[in-house]
Structure 1
Amino acid sequence: MQFTSEQRLDDGVIERGFILGEIPGILWMTTSASASAPAPLILLGHPTLGLSKMYPRLVARARHAAAEGFATATIELPGSGDRPRRAAAARAHADLRREMEANEPVSDEIVDALVLPLVDEAVPEWQAALDALLSLPEIGGPVGYSGGVISIGIRLAVVEPRIAAAVLFAGSFVPRVMFEEARQVTIPLHVLLQWDDEGNDRQAALDLFDAFGSKEKSLHANMGGHAGVPQFAGDVAAQFFDRHLK
């Protein structure tokens, strides 16, 4: 990991850009984090729109977490931002657009082609980022995961023992095989669902929640579309992490 930039935001949060191999990322932490008082870490998941486009929402989430004493970090997903495009993913996106524009049900084959290769590539990268971040003296465990793509969060919750709790954002297509992986998830979960999400299959989201094997899991559903998550939903998620990461 090489740090490439650093700036202090107006609320006492330090933002540091980094490169991990060829993967860009961002780390946020408060000035109070130190080797003697390391901050617990939350990994910020996000859709494949690129860090530059997602930055306003990511930094807002990071500032909210910093106010509760958490460090947060994110990385650019495969095929996003300035990273090399994935030809198979581009074809799957084109097929997805055609089916949605024709008001046809999205086929399992398209969902698998769109999501499964992304999960297979992204999860080891998240684990490599976690290795590097936890080597910093100001960062400590336990670790949380917050956001989407929900299938990435599911896989991380299954294979990464350092993640102790997760807030998952329903609203992305989920391959059927991921329902089997969801049954292996045992960490505490808090799932956010927008009831009127125009791009989400509500029943599939409810079925996925039912499939999770965690003994402690909660579903927080709000009225409104995909981008209409209310502020208080973030407050509830922060309380969830406060219980499990401190």
Structure 2
Amino acid sequence: MRFTSELRLDDGVLEREFLLGEIPGTLWTPESAAPVPLILTAHNNGLPKSDGRLVARARISATYGHAVATIDAAGCGDRPRSAADEQARADLRRAMRDGEPVDEIFESLVGPMVEKAVPEWRTALDALLALPEIGGPVGYSGWTALGIRLAATEPRIAAACCFAGGYVPRAQREEARRVTVPLLLLLQWDDEGNPRQRALDLFDAFGSREKTLHANLGGHTGTPWFELDDGNRFFGRHLR
């Protein structure tokens, strides 16, 4: 891991850009004399690590005493995208605009994205946990499909907060039954891009003995900001 920039923000949070091979990432850490827990945070659908909503959530989480890290995994941000991925994205936008079935298009796009992303997130996790300012345990926040795979297969993940999406690949819907860590699932009741019943069915499928569903009115990007405070209290309970 090689840090390429360092910025001390007004709230005392240290923001550092890094490179891990060809993987670019950002790490936010609070002012603390002791090692702190880590939250991995991920956007879906190829959005960059610099997306404003992700950065805002990360900075606030760092003020709660967590280290927060994100990366641009394969096909995300400025990293190269395959012609097949770009065609699948275009087909998905067209099908959603025209009200056509999108399940198979979605499978062809998101399934491979998860498969490519997970090894890179694990590589980043190895490097982050080797830093003296990070002591674990580890939480996950964000993209549901990736979170399911990591929580089901990565024993270092101790808790997960996911943004409910009805369009989760079939493989991850099956893997949800293997997720047993404490779970907080955030659902936008009027999400125009994700079928509500599928999201409810997914919540029911999770194998966690402690799982909580927060449902709020509004569309896909309308998650209330107070859910960020609730999420950080959730991680405070399970990562301390």
Q: Which bracket does the TM-score occupy, shorter chain normalised?
A: over 0.9
Aligned with 1:136 (options 108, 128, 131):
131
CA distance in 1, matches of 2:115, 2:91: 21
Question: Distance in 2 between the 1:160 and 1:63 partners?
Answer: 25
Amino acid at match of 2:59: R
Correspondence 1:96-107 to 2 at 5 A: 96-107=92-103
CA contact (8 A) 1:43 1:143 kept: yes
Moved over 2 A (4+): none
- Structure 1 residue 157 displacement after superposition: 0.3
Question: In structure 2, how many angstroms separate the alpha carbons of the residues matched to 1:23 and 1:172?
Answer: 29
Number of the residue aligned with 2:47: 49
Counterpart CA distance in 1 for 2:154 and 2:166 is 21
> In structure 2, what is the equivalent of residue 39 of structure 1?
36
- 8 Å Cα contact 1:115/1:173 also seen in 2: no
Q: Any idea what the Cα deviations from partners look like across 1:55-105, whole Å, max 9, x if unmatched?
A: x22221122212211010000021122211122211211221221121112
Identity over aligned residues, as a percent?
66
Q: 1: distance between equivalents of 2:132 and 2:47?
A: 31
Contact preservation (8 Å) 2:166, 2:198: no
What secondary structure sits across from 1:205 in the alignment? helix
Unaligned runs of 5+ in 1: none
1:126 aligns with 2:124: no
- Give distance in 1, aligned partners of 2:20 and 2:106: 29
- Per-residue CA deviations over 1:153-185 (Å, capped at 9, x if unaligned) read 000001110000000011362112221100111
Number of residue pairs matched?
239
8 Å Cα contact 1:171-1:226 kept in structure 2: no
User: Structure 2 CA distance, aligned partners of 1:187 and 1:217?
Assistant: 8
2:15 — aligned with what?
A: 15
Cα RMSD of the aligned pairs, angstroms, is 1.2
- Alpha-carbon distance in structure 1 between the residues aligned to 2:112 and 2:175: 15
Task: Work out the CA distance in 2 between the residues paired with 1:60 and 1:237.
Answer: 14
Quick one: which of 151, 166, 172 aligns to 1:157? 151
Match of 1:6 in 2: 6
Instruction: Output the TM-score relative to the length of structure 2.
Output: 0.96
CA distance in 1, matches of 2:166, 2:129: 29
SS at match of 1:174: coil
Match of 1:185 among 164, 179, 183: 179
Gaps of 5+ in 2: none
Among 70, 77, 98, the residue aligned to 2:73: 77
Amino acid at match of 1:44: T
SS, match of residue 173 in structure 2: helix
Contact 2:138 2:156 in 1 (8 A): yes
CA distance in 2, matches of 1:21, 1:133: 14
Does structure 1 retain, via aligned residues, the 8 Å contact 2:49–2:55? no
How far apart, CA to CA, are the structure 2 residues paired with 1:95 and 1:60?
31
TM-score, with length taken from structure 1: 0.94
**d(CA) in 1 for partners of 2:112 and 2:75?**
11
One-letter amino acid matched to 2:81: R
Equivalent-residue separation in structure 2 for 1:105 and 1:88 (angstroms): 19
Equivalent pair of 2:37/2:239 in contact (CA under 8 Å): yes
Provide the secondary structure at the position in 2 that maps to 1:116: helix
Q: Residue 238 of structure 2 aligns with which residue?
A: 244
